[in-house]
């Protein structure tokens, strides 16, 4: 059933000193210091958000939109989730890694759900999995948890159901809808999830859900009464062009910084200001040991070493 994913990835440099967040610790944060979760889709971002000290990193199927440029998450495959989750795993020394189960990788049957969750753990090196839905997936969650795989639930706006919901809209408005969100969250709690993402619901409903369940709630567009918050990394870093959701605060404008840096690079290449002397190796003609000497060749390799070490640790 599983592909041979090879030996576990080398840990980031700080892994020895770092304390990995565990599922029991995260669960015990209910009502305590808010949990900090952020998405990441590759090794580079994983290292940076881990260094920033977040508690949980989610490899969300939002990668369909952020990385692949799709209109929604529906086409994302389990193999794609495995690929990105494995890259992120290599970058995390202390944050807990949650892998998202994509559309139609768990809805068909509890058996399918266990197999997909197992693949994300074994091949993707996820430490837990997240899936969308409430009552309708409660049995699937129960079976995955019984197989020894920790699960994060996700209710409210569930983007994999974008067509059924009629768009990316706030959920849980009105009594019936609010009761459904509450019932879904309770069903997930009973099935054994260790946390529940609440997406795009009114803050008073998020507060009620948070008080109704025994596990931490992690909000995104759900106000500040939740036990934690999650944001998509590119939203909080101001990297995405176009629409930013109302609930996503931009803590930086890295998109503008990148365009500015690359424009300056382009200008310097065109004017031949780059590369300057400081970015250029010594000409053969100026090496006192003579062009092509063994010593000169050794120095060239020494200059390359830090780059190689940094790339491969």
**Active-site amino acid positions:** 199
**Closer to ligand KIV by Cβ: residue 189 or 199:** 199
**Closer to ligand KIV by Cβ: residue 12 or 159:** 159
H or E segment to which residue 152 belongs:
strand 151-156
**Closer to ligand KIV by Cβ: residue 55 or 199:** 199
Distance CA 251, CA 38 (A): 13
Reading the block at residue 126, the tokens are 């996820």
Torsion of CA 72, 140, 38, 80, to 10 degrees: -50
**Closer to ligand KIV by Cβ: residue 48 or 296:** 48
Reading the block at residue 214, the tokens are 């025994």
Residues lying near ligand KIV in the complex (CB under 6 A): 39, 58, 60-62, 100, 197, 199, 220, 230, 232
Q: Is 8 helix (H, G, I), strand (E, B) or coil?
A: coil
- Write the CB contacts of 50 (distance below 8 Å, at least 6 apart in sequence): 12, 57, 91, 92, 93, 94, 95
Reading the block at residue 11, the tokens are 């840990």
Minimum distance from CB of 139 to ligand KIV (Å)? 21
**Closer to ligand KIV by Cβ: residue 178 or 230:** 230
> Is 116 within 8 Å of 108 (Cβ atoms)?
no
Distance CA 203, CA 225 (A): 7
> How distant is the alpha carbon of residue 236 from its chain centre?
13
Minimum distance from CB of 172 to ligand KIV (Å)? 16
- Write the CB contacts of 161 (distance below 8 Å, at least 6 apart in sequence): 132, 133
Count CB-CB contacts under 10 A for residue 280: 8
């Amino acid at each position: 059933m599983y592909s041979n994913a090879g030996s576990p990835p080398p840990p980031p440099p700080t892994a020895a000193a770092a304390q990995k967040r565990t599922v029991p610790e995260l669960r015990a944060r209910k009502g305590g210091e808010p949990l900090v979760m952020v998405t990441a889709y590759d090794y580079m971002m994983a290292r940076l958000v881990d260094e920033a000290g977040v508690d949980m990193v989610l490899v969300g199927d939002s990668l369909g939109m952020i990385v692949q440029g799709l209109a929604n998450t529906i086409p994302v495959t389990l193999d794609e989730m495995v690929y990105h989750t494995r890259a992120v795993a290599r970058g995390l020394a202390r944050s807990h890694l949650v892998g998202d189960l994509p559309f139609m990788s768990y809805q068909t049957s509890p058996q399918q759900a266990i197999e997909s969750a197992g693949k994300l753990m074994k091949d993707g090196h996820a430490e837990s999995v997240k899936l969308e839905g409430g009552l309708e997936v409660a049995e699937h969650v129960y079976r995955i948890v019984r197989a020894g795989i920790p699960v994060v639930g996700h209710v409210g706006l569930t983007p994999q159901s974008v067509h059924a919901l009629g768009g990316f809209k706030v959920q849980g408005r009105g009594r019936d809808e609010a009761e459904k969100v509450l019932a879904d969250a309770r069903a997930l709690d009973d099935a054994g999830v260790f946390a529940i993402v609440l997406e795009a619901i009114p803050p008073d409903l998020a507060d009620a859900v948070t008080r109704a369940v025994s596990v931490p709630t992690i909000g995104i567009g759900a106000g500040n009464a939740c036990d934690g918050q999650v944001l998509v990394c590119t939203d909080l870093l101001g990297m995405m062009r176009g629409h930013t959701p109302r609930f996503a605060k931009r803590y930086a404008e890295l998109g503008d910084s990148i365009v500015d840096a690359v424009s300056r690079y382009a200008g310097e290449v065109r004017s031949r200001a780059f590369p300057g002397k400081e970015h250029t190796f010594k000409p053969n003609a100026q090496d006192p040991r003579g062009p092509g000497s063994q010593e000169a060749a050794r120095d060239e390799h020494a200059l390359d070493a830090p780059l190689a070490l940094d790339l491969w640790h």
